[in-house]
Amino acid sequence: MTSEAVGPTPAATIRQRASEVHALQDIAVDRRTPLEAPVLAEKAVVGDAPEIHRLIQYWFEATGDVLPRTEGEIYETIRDFVVVRDPSGDRLLAAGALHVEWRDLAEIKSLVVDPGTQGKGLGRIVVDACLDEAVDMGLKTVFALTTTPAFFERLGFRISGVSAFPRKVWNECFRCPKYNACDEIAVTIDLRDRFTT
């Protein structure tokens, strides 16, 4: 058996590889900026999967701030997702997923806001909805791996080390294309601090 040399994986290579794997042609995102009416987070339905996928792919291609997901992966985990819809109901403005990792631990994943509606509180709405759901489920801690820790800190998360989440490392990080060149920072929130006062 030959051993394959493993070295740092350049982001461009990661993106190229994912583009080939996912064979995505259209990552155009509507840049209209509405928000003339209040919006709410709600649980995703299966029909949201293509739009969720499009937003994730947009950000993966544009900045690499989220990891790519196949449309199939999104259908498989659709019950993890919350979404924010345009008040007219015809498109998604934001999405994010709460994924249970263990009896007391969940992760916020695939958090994406339409680029035309950033900075309007939609990311906060999605994260708050995920945290509410986590509390309802009896979870004590929620974490995220992110390139934008400052956003999560504004929402009450604290920076921690990914080594605090060994199951995550064993279950998923080892299969991640960024494993040898990870640029994500772990942030965590103790839900007992947030919701029991």
Ligand X SMILES: CC(C)(COP(=O)(O)OP(=O)(O)OC[C@H]1O[C@@H](n2cnc3c(N)ncnc32)[C@H](O)[C@@H]1OP(=O)(O)O)[C@@H](O)C(=O)NCCC(=O)NCCS
| 8-37 positions binding ligand X, by CB under 6 A | none
Position among 22, 91, 99, 124 found at the interface with ligand X (CB under 6 A): 124
Position among 13, 16, 33, 118 found at the interface with ligand X (CB under 6 A): 118
Q: Which stretch binds ligand X (CB under 6 A): 12-20, 81-89, 132-140, 149-157?
A: 149-157
Sequence-distant (6+) residues with CB within 8 A of 86 are 34, 39, 92, 93
- Does 154 bind ligand X (CB under 6 A)? Our answer is yes
The Cβ of residue 32 has, within 10 Å, a number of other Cβ atoms equal to 10
Q: Is 106 helix (H, G, I), strand (E, B) or coil?
A: strand
- Does 61 bind ligand X (CB under 6 A)? Our answer is no
Position among 123, 129, 133, 134 found at the interface with ligand X (CB under 6 A): 123
Taking the complex as a whole, the smallest distance from the CB of residue 7 to ligand X amounts, in Å, to 25
Sheet of 105-113: strand order equals 41-43, 81-85, 92-102, 105-113, 141-146, 185-190, 158-160
Position among 106, 111, 139, 189 found at the interface with ligand X (CB under 6 A): 111
Q: Which residue is nearest to ligand X (CB)?
A: 123
Question: Which tokens hold the place of 74?
Answer: 């999104």
Sequence-distant (6+) residues with CB within 8 A of 119 are none
Please report the DSSP string for 137-171 in residue order.
Answer: TT--EEEEEES-HHHHHHTT-EEE-GGG-HHHHHH
Position among 14, 39, 41, 66 found at the interface with ligand X (CB under 6 A): 66
H/E stretch holding 188: strand 185-190
Position among 41, 112, 142, 191 found at the interface with ligand X (CB under 6 A): 112
Q: Which residues bind ligand X (CB under 6 A)?
A: 59, 65-66, 111-113, 118-124, 144, 146, 148, 150-151, 154
